[in-house]
Homo-oligomer: A and B are copies of this chain.
Amino acid sequence: MYLCTQIKVNYIKFMAKELDFLTKRSEDYSRWYNELVVKADLAEQSDVRGCMVIKPYGYAIWEKMQRLLDDRFKETGVQNAYFPLLIPKSFLSREAEHVEGFAKECAVVTHYRLKTNDTHDGVVVDPAARLEEELIIRPTSETIIWNTFKNWIHSYRDLPLVVNQWCNVMRWEMRTRLFLRTSEFLWQEGHTAHATREEAEERAKMMLKVYADFAEQVMAVPVVQGVKSETERFAGALDTYTIEAMMQDGKALQSGTSHFLGQNFGRAFDVQFLNKENQAEYAWATSWGVSTRLMGALIMTHSDDNGLVLPPRLAPTQVVIIPIGGKPEQVAAVDAAVAPIMEQLKQMGISVKYDNADNRRPGFKFADYELKGVPVRLVLGARDLENGTVEVMRRDTLEKETRPLEGIAEYVRQLLDDIQQNIYQKAKTYRDAHIYECDNYDEFKARVKDGGFFLCHWDGTAETEAKIKEDTQATIRCVPFGFEQTPGVDMVSGKPSVARVLIARSY
């Protein structure tokens, strides 16, 4: 067992260095996150202020999210389309509330040409190429899409329209963090038009459920579904539905929103249709979106001090096999034993990588795949072959066990399912243990800074909401659904309250 022991020593040494290398969550959660995103090769800051580069490993996870979410959208009748990146400035002012919420921090295109400078060593903006009307890089596309819908909608027969686009958007942010808040980000934005209020409200709720199911079943992130307070609504919405996830520091992360927009955009862009009674009506609207922010939720929900923990359904590589080489004939024997296992796993639709590169020591590989969150690791050496065994490590618990080689593919398949369930349960147990009912404002103020979701009675006024935010930085995340409500007394004002709301500090 010399080889194995030596490797373990190397490994422990390396891991010690590695642990040192990644800040511990308990030391500085925020720094841990920032380091992890960069060190796990997910993303990095670019030289363009506030804009990130999503690196291949991070993008591979986002691509899986996109694909699986898109499939779920299409099952509900969503069609993808593409609308212009640039929006005429005047469009933003059409919907009064919308402009308040969005028009302010935008990238503004004013010119359409550069020219060589006088010293012929660079380029300058050509003052002759000034646009008559400035164009805004879309911060969200309600305005340009409803301006287009005007030409698509004439009769109730043209409805519903249920379209979505996957695209980039831009909101000029002063303080940015990778995935969580960046000036440019990737997202999908769904926009629908309906003949009736009921149908639109149903669609807004339906998409919230699609998001919640996706978060829980695919990302293994438990979420609270609810409806936003008026203050926290999307600019131009009558109702904003939200899913709120709890990070490991107890803060809330708004992970997806779905808006019932009423007839606001129908009116603003004059989108009228003839109903069955041949009368003109304004169309009813919804919009809904999730973004690369989901990457932040994914990372912060599951990962640990060794690095990423990924749900198997989103892991670009689900299984890594690492040989412990010795003499050439031992290496060849391991290669030969691994080939059929690879084949079986691939046939099960499992993505597997055999890392037999000889320029990295096994200990380095172990730490690297842990950092990258590969859910299952198999290690195989000459001694294992003799014994007909293989070492299996699951990333979520870091537990190792020795299993028979016979039937290992089927075992791994089940293990991946088990990991998917386990990390969801773990996150849910943590979340549930940090949801508190609280009826005393002093107690609330003392406790909320340590994180957690607080269920508190609220009198429904913007004044109370503002006071809570000012005193504690915590905000009303939503009026939660699926929670039996009884009337009570607002903890701040002492006025009557019809329901408890979810309050937390948030990202």
Contacts and interface: CB of A to CB of B under 8 A. Distances in A.
B46 A148 contact: yes
A6 interface: no
Given A137-B109, A148-B53, A84 B184 contact: yes
Interface string A71-109: 000000001111111111110110000010001111111
Interface in A154-202: 157, 163, 167-168, 170, 172, 184, 186
B137 A92 contact: no
Contact of A48 (B54, B60, B86): B86
Interface in A22-36: none
Given A55-B81, A168-B168, A92 B114 contact: yes
A86 to B, nearest CB: 5
A80 to B, nearest CB: 5
A126 to B, nearest CB: 8
Interface stretch (A115-123, A415-423, A446-454): A115-123
B136 A114 contact: yes
Given A109-B108, A123-B92, A59 B81 contact: yes
Given A168-B168, A359-B157, A56 B80 contact: yes
B84 A53 contact: yes
A445 interface: no
A112 interface: yes
A17 interface: no
Contacts of A147: 47
Interface in A440-465: none
A433 to B, nearest CB: 37
Contacts of A151: 44
Interface residues of A, number: 64
Nearest to A93: B122
B104 A115 contact: yes
A123 to B, nearest CB: 5
A135 B107 contact: yes
A184 B47 contact: no
A325 to B, nearest CB: 19
Contacts of A134: 125
A110 interface: yes
A186 B170 CA distance: 17
Contacts of A121: 93
A47 to B, nearest CB: 6
Interface core residue of A60, A125, A359 (most chain B CB under 10 Å): A125
A56 B79 contact: yes
A111 interface: yes
Given A89-B123, A157-B359, 11 more contacts: A46-B144, A48-B135, A48-B144, A51-B85, A56-B163, A60-B79, A85-B170, A89-B114, A90-B122, A103-B114, A107-B112
13 contacts: A46-B144, A48-B135, A51-B84, A51-B86, A54-B82, A82-B186, A104-B113, A106-B113, A108-B110, A108-B114, A110-B110, A113-B172, A168-B168
